[in-house]
């Protein structure tokens, strides 16, 4: 998807693509009676967008990789699709709803209520991550007290480690004490997934917070036995965020 803070679904699935080519992405799908090729590097027509939203596999790739959400004139269709499916309890569909809402910068109280439902109840880790990711993107629109309350729910009432991490990152925007909680989580991580998730969130933080987290990650990387390519990639990403 377009926004890097919410383009971590592949990373969260431990699919770490060090050579990430963002331009000219082509998706091929074969169906029983036809074939469809979609070029995400160009704005899509309304008819194609409707077809993509109707197909679960195509929809996921569309949401993750399409860079023209805010310029192709299809926003009304996307908002209507979100409204039509917001009552669902299907995890994959909810992930797509929150990720798409993040990409088109959509904030509504109905989405906030759905996020609270997801965070309070039994949903998959990736579904809860999509909800807290959406809240991070919408942080300037969500009432600060509500933002804090929902992220506290996510942090305190789950054993899902990446959800707890993301909630702590979100809470650090309001409470400096959560920076140390992010550090504690990362110290216990044996896999790079959490580090990629934090680095992908840094662009949403102010300069002071970004600097604190960059220093934290740089120090912790010296304690981790990750593959050299992963360590190098993370350090490159960190350097690109230093202003």
Cα 83 from Cα 220, distance rounded (Å): 42
Identify the pLDDT of residue 210: 92
Going by C-alpha positions, the residue among 150, 184, 182 that lies closest to residue 165 is: 182
Structure tokens that stand for 55 in this block: 């197909």
123 touches 97 (CB < 8 A): no
Identify the pLDDT of residue 38: 87
Cα 135 from Cα 5, distance rounded (Å): 11
Identify the pLDDT of residue 37: 79
Cα 33 off chain centre by = 34
**Length of the chain in terms of residues written:** 243
Q: Per residue of the chain (243 residues), what is the pLDDT tens digit?
A: 333 334 455 545 433 233 333 333 333 333 322 446 789 999 999 999 999 999 988 999 999 999 999 999 999 999 999 999 999 999 999 999 999 999 999 999 999 999 999 999 999 999 999 999 999 999 999 999 999 999 999 999 888 999 999 999 999 999 999 999 999 999 999 999 999 999 999 988 888 889 999 999 999 999 999 999 999 999 999 999 987
Whole-prediction pTM? 0.84
Q: Which helix (H) or strand (E) holds 147?
A: helix 144-156
Phi first, then psi: give them for residue 71, nearest 5 degrees: -140, 0
Identify the pLDDT of residue 12: 52
Identify the pLDDT of residue 9: 57
Cα 191 from Cα 183, distance rounded (Å): 14
Structure tokens that stand for 175 in this block: 């409470």
Residue 123 CB contacts under 8 Å (≥ 6 apart), including other chains: 89, 91, 94
Q: Which 3 state secondary structure label does DSSP give 3?
A: coil
The dihedral sign for the CA sequence 113, 57, 44, 133? positive
Residue 17 CB contacts under 8 Å (≥ 6 apart), including other chains: 10
Structure tokens that stand for 152 in this block: 């506290």
Identify the pLDDT of residue 92: 96
């Amino acid at each position: 998807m377009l926004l890097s803070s919410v383009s971590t679904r592949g990373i969260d699935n431990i699919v770490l693509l060090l050579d990430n080519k963002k331009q000219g992405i082509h998706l091929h799908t074969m169906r029983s009676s036809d074939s469809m090729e979609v070029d995400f590097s160009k704005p899509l027509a309304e008819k194609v967008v409707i077809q993509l939203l109707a197909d679960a596999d195509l929809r996921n790739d569309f949401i993750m990789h399409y860079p023209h959400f805010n310029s192709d004139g299809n926003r009304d269709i996307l908002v209507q699709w979100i409204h039509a499916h917001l009552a669902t309890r299907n995890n994959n569909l909810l992930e797509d709803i929150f990720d798409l809402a993040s990409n088109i910068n959509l904030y509504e109280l109905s989405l906030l209520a759905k996020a609270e439902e997801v965070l309070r109840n039994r949903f998959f880790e990736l579904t809860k991550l999509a909800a807290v990711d959406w809240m991070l993107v919408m942080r300037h629109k969500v009432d600060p007290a509500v933002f804090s309350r929902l992220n506290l729910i996510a942090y305190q009432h789950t054993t899902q480690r990446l959800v707890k991490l993301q909630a702590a990152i979100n809470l650090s925007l309001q409470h400096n004490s959560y920076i140390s909680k992010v550090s504690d989580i990362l110290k216990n991580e044996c896999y790079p997934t959490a580090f990629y998730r934090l680095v992908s969130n840094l662009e949403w933080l102010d300069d002071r917070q970004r600097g604190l987290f960059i220093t934290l990650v740089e120090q912790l990387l010296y304690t981790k036995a990750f593959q050299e390519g992963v360590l190098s990639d993370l350090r490159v990403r960190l350097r690109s965020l230093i202003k």
